[in-house]
A and B are shown apart, each in its own frame.
Chain A
Amino acid sequence: MTSQARRARLTAGARWSALVILAVAALVFPIVFTNPVLTNYGVFALIFVTASSAWNVFSGFSGYISLGQAVFFGSGAYAVGIAARDWHVTGTAVFALLPLAAVVGAVIAVPFGLVALRVRRHTFIVITIAVFFIFQLMAFNFSFTGGSSGLAAPFLPWQAATYNNPFYYIALGCAVGIIALAWLIRRARFGLHLRAIRDDEDRARGLGVRAMRVKLAAFTLSGAVTGLIGGVWFLYLTQVEPQTGFDPLFDLSIVLMAFFGGLGTIAGPVLGALIIEPGQLYLTIRFTNGYYGEILLGAIFLVVVLFVPRGIIPTGGEWIRRLTTRGRSALPPAEPAEVKPELRDPASSGPRGGAG
């Protein structure tokens, strides 16, 4: 018992120290690696950490797989772009528009959710795809979105060498925010309701979960965060077109990241995004013609689904547990050495003899 408690305390301690080390590493990353090429990887990775975690808070917890997150991402980007253009916002003042991106994401999520969340499973997935294409077409066809040439962000008078750093820290703030939020939700009654819906929605409703309200709240939250990070992404790239803001590959990438790391876990989407997004970026830069990266990505995808079907975090945890339990079965030979001093105490030798 005591050794088990000690081990639990040890793993908890290890987890906290790992978290602290990770946080420090994330904070000093742009200071240590000043090369803009590397910080660029960091910014994109953190944008996708945020987007994938936001997806996970709704889809991972509730089991409703949304393939329409780009609706919020693109809308957030366009909201910042249109506001900056029409209100003549220039310079660093554009960052004050980022909350608007979150609000727009949330405002779109409510009617979208009210329509889509009436249906389940495959039909839900397909409706999210359909809504996604409606938004892409709107971005193409309306005049206030700038049509197929899209929008450009105001010019930021920053030096090229450190241009990425403010974006890095903004994206880091967003990522930490959604991770903390996901952690809180998972522990709260709200998170429990979501997981009850995932396991058996009808039974959850029978037990008094207001399913529609809970799903809609999670969907709206997810939409707001995705909209916000879409705004950050737009200011970083300084431009958005209908096919980049509303990109079907964006939807599938964040889903892959969450699956890769482990669906419904907190660390899963983070780990998935940190591995896959830099990898994808590297492949795109390395193979400019694109198709080798595509084939490789698909192959990795297949390997993950077939051999690590529940994601790295759950499967990895299982391996570690198996390793530690194997350690325990190997304990008895080591035990006498540990217990020997206690053997001098006659009281403890009794039960030991019984167990042996």
Chain B
Amino acid sequence: MKLNVLAAFSLLAVFSATSFAQQKAASKTAAPPREAFPLWPNGAPGALGTADKDIPTLTPYFASAAKATGAAVVICPGGGYGGLAPHEGSHYAMFLNEQGITGFVLKYRLGSGGYHHPAMMNDVNRAIRYVRANAEKWKLDPQRIGVMGSSAGGHLASTAITHFDAGDANASDPIDKVSSRPDLGILCYPVITMGELTHSGSKKNLLGENPDPKLVELLSNEKQVTKDTPPTFIFHTFADAGVKVENALMFAGALRKNGVPFSLHIYPNGPHGIGLGGAQWNPEARHPWTTQLAVWLKELGFAK
């Protein structure tokens, strides 16, 4: 355990050093992607092996020093808990960088890799703790760490904003000492419920065949909202044929009942998986939801 902590610290030292070097160098464009790092240096809890699929990681995209606000967002790409779509990961990080926000793309464990709940939740909770525990070193604000997710990644993000804890003060791992509560949530055409209106592929990958009704209830996140759920931004389209818009409406209803402020943007048109506007990176062809998100991030002090 001693050794783990030491290893983690030396790893962090390397990262923060390269981070500063890079922030100095990159002034014109958003920082290019840097190396992904594992969330647990000695293997994730419940890991089934040591292959790539067994190692949850974060890929950091630091905002340029000239623009950086100190805020950060952990990004959960979609893919029905069976894959991870790049345009809902790295593209979001680059978009956030434009707003001065650092993005961390989470590679979480998947149903296709033999994993079910709680592996994914453990990964996202750990990711928030990881960024928070290292915030100071990375010139980030530990009180402005959000979570963002699309489609099934939106389910994982909605899990993160409804299933968190304050951390374990007695833990030996310094990362486990800090809170896993995100300071805001961004949900894009999210799967929310595991009930009747769920996305069945995501449900199967997350919970397996014939899940216990208690587990279905626990991960129907519209039922898990409390007054401590952080402010949330939700985007969905009426025409979404992959994940029904009811998911967004139900979550907004639950936020409202619990007095949690939210921004909700439903557009009539647009296919599931639209991302920032399309699968290809194209700042000229952004969907209007992105401007609404930028306004909201500014309002919350995450963006300049």
| A, B co-complexed | no
Chain A residues engaging chain B, CB cutoff 8 angstroms = none
Report which B residues bind A (CB closer than 8 A): none
